[in-house]
Amino acid sequence: MLFKYSLIQKFRESAASVLPVALIVALLCFSIAPMPTDLMLSFIIGTALLILGLGLFTFGVEKSMTLIGTYTGARLTKFRNLSILLVISFILGVIITIAEPDLQVLAENTPHINTIILIITVSVGVGLFLMLCMLRILLGVQLRWILMFFYIIVFTLAFFADPDYISVAFDSGGVTTGPMTVPFIMAMGVGVASIRSDKNAEADSFGLVALCSIGPILAVLLLGFFYEGGGDLSSSSVTDSFTDTVALGLSYTHAIPEYMAEVAMALSPIIIFFLIFQAAVLKLRRLPFLKIILGILFTYAGLVCFLTGVNVGFLPLGTILGTELGTGWTIYLLIPIAGIIGWFIVSAEPAVHVLTKQVEEISSGAVSERAIRISLSIAISLAMMIAMLRVITGISIFWFLIPGYVLALALSFFVPQMFTAIAFDSGGVASGPMTATFILPFAMGACQATGGNILTDAFGLVAMVAMMPLITIQIMGAIYVIKSRGEEQSQAVFSSYGNAEIIELWEVE
């Protein structure tokens, strides 16, 4: 009964996440940007598959990947062998990222880098930085100094990198921390942090997502120095992918077997690792073991439905809708429409639910789930509007990323360390499936219509979404600190009076 209720709850969450965006899109298509009937039918089917897929996927991840991460993190620390911990962390970082649906969507939409090469490059980046995360937790190093050091390296490399790789690199950092990796990485961090007995142990389990977002950025920037891609393929790749709408109704039946094979390949390394680890180290009892296997099956089914709905239903409509709105007078509506979608889309990210719940639990309610979501909604709305401004004007992404990260890192010196970790983690989880699957293609279509450079102007949207929460969450932390100090002062004034004294609140004539 509890199993059934939990699954229904996941479907409700996924419906509440996807439907607001779908309704906004439908309203646009039935008013200022009419779409062909077959394309709208495909979008409706895609929406249903997306709701079904996200529900099954998040349920499956909760029952499998989160538990595997927790068991692995806790068990590895018992070996008291740093080399084993680091090697397994690297392997897990690589194989869990390969299965990340957001990364697969981004890789398939990046025309000048081979899909497999991009996925492997990004996965290795995550694996290396997951090793760094484990070291940080064990050694208790402050997050702000590590972030500052590596972001200086990131922006130094970016100044010398190929312009066609800069926006894609920062986008890669955003999409890798999605619904697959976030629950696993955070659970593993909590498991490793559990061996420390100091008061900062739980707080240090945050920040893993933030650091794992840097690895892919560095990896893709370095890739640009050695890999020769086809930079002129951007426009034609997008057009070729979305012009054939005649067979869209039947395309779902052709796509499902293809994604079944893809997802099986993506999940197989994780399954193999778990089976080996179970036989050699974990030795779980039969019932917990079978529950994890069942969770993996739900994850598999959810991923197949998700990727099918995304690639057949959402991507084509997103691109064509962006193209329609980017032509004529409707170009002036791009920025406000993006802001409205941004406000609602943050609740569509499954990883946001995971993060906000863990934050509320660990902070004992001091940082509420509602406060974080409002901060994220404001951040993502602003990020979407800035991204559309870039699409229309072609302003370099550096004009936003450099001041944004300087401000975010500066704020880290004025707010509690935990808020900094939560802020940088929020940046990673906010840029999830809905951002990569609909808003990025929407921006690509608009960019194509305005005659811009897709690689430099449209890409970078995910990076903006990942950056803005770093600022808004830390501002929320600063407000929290100010309020806490005010309450402490009020309490001090009140306690300075004796219990028997009468405080006159009016003037006696």
pLDDT tens per residue across span 95-148: 989 888 878 888 888 888 888 999 999 999 999 999 998 888 878 788 888 999
pLDDT in tens, 378-414: 888 999 999 999 999 999 999 999 999 999 999 988 8
Q: Which two tokens stand for residue 440?
A: 């990025």
- Cα distance between residue 283 and residue 276, in whole Å: 10
- Pair 135, 400: CB distance under 8 Å: no
Round to whole Å and give the CA distance between 353 and 171. 21
Determine, yes or no, domain membership for 17.
no
Q: Which residue has the tokens 């130094």?
A: 156
Report whether 291 contacts 3 (CB < 8 A).
Answer: no
Q: What percentage of residues in the chain have a pLDDT greater than 90?
A: 23
Residue 453 and residue 330 in contact, taking contact as beta carbons nearer than 8 Å: no
pLDDT band at 494 (very low <50, low <70, confident <90, very high): very low
- N- to C-terminal Cα separation, the chain: 70
Least confident segment among 26-35, 177-186, 339-348, 360-369: 360-369
CA 503 to chain centre: 54
Residue whose entry in the numeric block shows the structure tokens 């069942």: 294
Is there a domain that residue 4 lies in? no
- The two counts, helices (H) then strands (E), for the chain are 23, 0
In a domain, 15, yes or no: no
Does any domain span residue 3?
no
Q: What is the pLDDT of residue 194?
A: 66
Q: Is residue 493 part of a domain?
A: no
Lowest pLDDT segment from 31-45, 232-246, 293-307: 232-246
Give me the phi and psi of 505, to 5 degrees please: -105, 5
Mean pLDDT of the chain: 81
Q: Is residue 494 a part of any domain in this protein?
A: no
Report the pLDDT averaged over residues 151-179.
Answer: 89
SS3 category, 227:
coil
Instruction: Single out the residue of 69, 2, 7, 68 nearest to residue 298, CA to CA.
Output: 7
Domain count, the chain: 1
Domain containing 92 equals 27-480
42 close to 247: Cβ distance less than 8 angstroms: no
Q: State yes or no: pLDDT of 242 exceeds 70.
A: no
Q: Does a structural domain hold residue 147?
A: yes
pTM of the model: 0.82
Q: Is residue 486 part of a domain?
A: no
